[in-house]
Structure 1
């Protein structure tokens, strides 16, 4: 049986070989993967066919046929990112995207016929979580003048992503999503004087991004009054303008009468 090896580009990755000669590959967008047939050198009459999904004529994406002296041929589907090694028949996917997620099958016809399967999962890059103050997300019964409600949120997340709040190393809450391109948000209520370390973590099976909560910056009590101060300032300006206007009119009237 031909051994199958997977070479991944310079990034964190995971490889899990399971029974049935199926190889699971998990990696991030923008990197490369090479699926090796472990054939040292193709000889006359050798045939290599790569298929995406269930193998059928319209699913074949690459082919080498030494029987007719044919070098590597890339089909239209996924053509931009595919290469085939003419010497070994290995399939190279460069600048990989989520479009390449799926099942790959290579058929090797030499003295015998052999099939190998690869299950490739590609994850989009994670957006950076944003922490903001949002009292509307906290229950009115639990919130108090000494507490602050913050919200950790992300936009356009991909499948198999979870958003979590941690207090130190302890998990406080978590939410997951299996759909594409939606918004995730998770509230947290903390005390103004809380000295614990809180962090919001967004992760998928490949990697994670962490945003730390700065209570002093996000939950400063004065920030509650920002809107109020803005409205008060506007009222004061209006009153001052009105007083100045009345005074101006009075001066004009007095001046006219005096003349």
Structure 2
């Protein structure tokens, strides 16, 4: 087997290396450009990371003969009937040189791919989703509940504002979190790795706006959630109501004083009239 492998290397055709750049959490497909598997004995997919070559899977005559299921690629690899390899929910650690060794009855060809995975950018347009309105009061804490249970391979991203500013991130697979710690949200954000929920403490007026959540998984549909956070108008209504009560009280007070004055004037008028009539009665 060793000799035949060397023979294949000598007779093999090496194509140009295809460079692919992909963002973490996305999927990437490495194409063999085969139209069918006729005449193909096997396809061996491997990856070179840090000068170490690891076989990912072997496809023999259209059947996955061996899936090595490397821990870092667990549940991430998909291969179609033409040998194209798809890596789902990719991470930075999956950057490297990938190779497809395609062996047919006439020889062996190699297709190589240089995959570079970059971290989620600080600013990007976030995905859409149903918008949930959340009303908050100043100086309190509020939690944006995802209502989901995350899985061990999930990548959780929270973004803020229409421009999609990255404010919180958690990679469940590596159990690593990063929270934006600038002047705006300093020491006020907390991400729950079990649910992906985000808590904002000591809420300020500048915290109002749109928050967007993205949860990427290996073999599950990517989830998007959007929250619109705004200040409630309880305090405003309380102030208006208090002012209205004050005005009503003042009006009622003025009316009461006016009633007393009118009543006093009426009593005095009756008394004066009674005095005028009293002498006339005595003369008779």
Q: TM-score, length-normalised on structure 2?
A: 0.37
Q: TM-score, length-normalised on structure 1?
A: 0.40
The structure, 1 or 2, with the larger RCO (C-alpha pairs under 8 Å, 6+ apart) is: 2
Q: Which has the larger radius of gyration?
A: 2
When you count strand as a share of all residues, which structure comes out higher?
1
